[in-house]
């Protein structure tokens, strides 16, 4: 299957961009990191939301297994990363997150997952 792909990306007004875009084979996804209320930044200056979006993108880059299982793997890895950075994963004000939407196109079907506010058009 050969697809013609175009993308449009516009960074928001914030200085730090917490978004990630993934286009790999037949998988298309966007990840929208959300920083915690405590404003965590690591030694490289990355916010928790940016780290969460990068982790989710890296997991989805595998493009193997169901989209639901990739989402579960990403969620688990984000939790581990938070704990390793000293974040109390049980305190809602400290946790990192990343909303996302992903679409996988096959010859005769389309699979998608969007467990958040992002829309698929």
pTM assigned to the model = 0.89
Residue 6 counted as domain residue: no
Residue 117 has a pLDDT of 77
Residue 24 has a pLDDT of 93
Residue 1 counted as domain residue: no
Residue 7 counted as domain residue: no
Structural domains of the chain, count: 1
pLDDT at 15 over 80: no
Residue 55 counted as domain residue: yes
Residue 9 counted as domain residue: no
User: Angle at Cα 29 formed by Cα 28 and Cα 30, nearest 5°?
Assistant: 145
pLDDT tens digits for range 80-96: 999 999 999 999 999 99
Q: Which domain holds residue 90?
A: 19-113
Residue 2 counted as domain residue: no
pLDDT tens digits for range 104-121: 999 899 999 998 777 887
* Torsion sign (Cα): 40, 55, 97, 19: positive
Residue 12 counted as domain residue: no
Phi/psi for 99 (5° steps) reads -75, 155
pLDDT at 6 over 80: no
Q: At what angle do helices 48-61 and 67-84 cross, to 10 degrees?
A: 140
Residue 33 counted as domain residue: yes
Mean pLDDT to the nearest integer, 52-66: 96
Q: Find out whether 96 and 36 touch, Cβ atoms under 8 Å.
A: yes
The structure tokens listed for 11 are: 């960074």
Q: Give the per-residue SS3 of 39-93.
A: CCECCCCCEHHHHHHHHHHHHHHCCCCCHHHHHHHHHHHHHHHHHHCCCCCCCCC
The structure tokens listed for 34 are: 């959300």
């Amino acid at each position: 299957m050969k697809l013609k792909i175009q993308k449009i990306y516009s960074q928001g007004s914030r200085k730090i961009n917490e978004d990630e875009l993934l286009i790999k084979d037949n998988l298309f996804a966007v990840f929208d990191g959300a920083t915690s209320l405590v404003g965590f930044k690591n030694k490289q200056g990355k916010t928790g939301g940016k780290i969460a979006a990068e982790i989710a993108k890296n997991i989805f880059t595998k493009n193997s297994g169901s989209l639901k299982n990739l989402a579960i793997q990403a969620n688990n890895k984000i939790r581990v990363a938070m704990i390793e950075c000293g974040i109390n994963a049980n305190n809602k004000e400290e946790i990192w997150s990343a909303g996302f939407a992903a679409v996988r196109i096959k010859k005769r079907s389309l699979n998608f997952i969007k467990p958040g506010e992002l829309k698929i058009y």
